[in-house]
Amino acid sequence: MQVAIVLYPGFTSLDVIGPYEVWGRLPDTEVVFVAERPGLVVNDLRSLSVNVVAGFGDVPNPDVVLIGGGPGQTEQMSDGNLHEWLRRVDGASAWTTSVCTGSLILAAAGVLTGRRATSHWAALEHLAEFGVTPSKERVVIDGHYATAAGVSAGIDMALTLAGLLVGDDVAQTVQLIIEYAPEPPYHAGALESAPARVVESAMEKLSTRFPSR
Please name each of the domains of the chain with its CATH number.
2-182 (3.40.50.880), 184-213 (no CATH)
pLDDT at position 79 is 97
Question: Among 4, 100, 122, 148, which one carries the catalytic annotation?
Answer: 100
Share of the chain above pLDDT 70, in %: 99
Q: Half-sphere exposure (CA, 13 Å, Cβ side) for 45?
A: 6
Contacts of residue 102, Cβ cutoff 8 Å, sequence gap at least 6: 6, 15, 66, 67, 68, 69, 73, 147
The residue type found at 174 is V
Strand partners, 35: none
> Which among 78, 142, 93, 70 has a CA at the least distance from the CA of 113?
142
pLDDT digits (tens, 9 = 90+) for 60-108: 999 999 999 999 999 999 999 999 999 999 999 999 999 999 999 999 9
Q: Does 100 participate in catalysis according to the annotation?
A: yes
Q: How far apart are CA 19 and CA 157, in angstroms?
A: 8
Strand partners, 11: 43
Region 200-207 average pLDDT: 95
What is the pTM (predicted TM-score) of this model?
0.97
How many other CB atoms sit within 10 Å of the CB of residue 135? 18
pLDDT digits (tens, 9 = 90+) for 175-194: 999 999 999 999 999 999 99
pLDDT digits (tens, 9 = 90+) for 33-62: 999 999 999 999 999 999 999 999 999 999
